[in-house]
Amino acid sequence: MWPDGLDVAAMTTRGWRPKPFHQFVVKIHSRCNLACDYCYVYESADQGWRDQPRVMSSAVFTTACQNIAAHAESSVSLVLHGGEPLLVGAEHLDRLAGIATRVLGSRVRLGLQTNGLLFDPAIASVCERWGIRVAVSVDGDAAGHDRHRRFGDGRGSHSGVLRGISLLRSKPDVYAGLLCTVDLSNDAVGTYEALLALEPPTVDFLLPHGNWNQPPPRRFESDPPAYGQWLARIFDRWFDAPVRETGVRLFDDILALTLGGRGTSESVGLQPIRVAVIETDGSVEQVDTLKTAFAGATRVPLGGGGNPLDTALMSPPMVARQIGREALCDTCRSCAISEICGAGNYTHRYRAGSGFLNPSVYCPDLQFLIGHIRDRVLASLPPGVLVSLPSRTADGA
- Quick one: average pLDDT of 316-345? 96
pLDDT at 301: 82
**pLDDT tens-digit map of 53-89:** 999 999 999 999 999 999 998 899 999 999 999 999 9
Q: pLDDT tier at 390 (50, 70, 90 boundaries)?
A: low
Specify the pLDDT at position 385.
Answer: 65
pLDDT of residue 383: 76
Domain boundaries, the chain: 20-206+273-322, 325-380
Three-class secondary structure of residue 118 per DSSP = coil
Total-model pTM:
0.94
Half-sphere exposure of 275 (CA within 13 A, CB side): 18
DSSP strand pairing (284-285 vs 108-114): unpaired
**CB 143, CB 98: distance < 8 Å:** no
Of 15-24, 257-266, 332-341, least confident by mean pLDDT is 257-266
pLDDT band at 387 (very low <50, low <70, confident <90, very high): low
- 127-155 pLDDT, tens digit each: 999 999 999 999 999 999 999 999 999 99
> What are residue 25's phi and psi, to 5 degrees?
-90, 110
Backbone angles phi, psi at 80, to 5 degrees: -75, 125
The pLDDT score that the predictor gives to residue 395 is 47
Q: How many CB atoms lie within 10 A of CB 179?
A: 21
- Give the type of residue at 287: V
Contacts of 324 (CB under 8 A, 6+ apart): 270, 271, 272, 342
pLDDT at 382: 82
Average pLDDT, integer, range 6-14? 95
- What pLDDT score was predicted for residue 209? 96
Taking the C-alpha atoms of residue 373 and residue 282, their distance in angstroms, rounded to an integer, is 42
Does residue 275 register a pLDDT over 70?
Answer: yes
Peptide bond into 3 cis (omega under 30): yes
- Report whether pLDDT(394) > 50: no
Q: Mean pLDDT across the stretch 383-395? A: 57
Q: What confidence score (pLDDT) does residue 384 get?
A: 66
The mean of the pLDDT values for the chain is 94
The correct CATH number of 20-206+273-322 out of 3.30.2320.20, 3.50.50.60, 3.20.20.60, 3.20.20.70 is 3.20.20.70
Q: Averaged over 87-109, what is the pLDDT?
A: 98
Name the residue among 287, 265, 267 with its Cα closest to residue 275.
Answer: 287
Which of 49-53, 183-187, 297-301, 340-344 shows the lowest mean pLDDT across its residues? 297-301
Ramachandran angles phi, psi of 137, nearest 5°: -90, 120
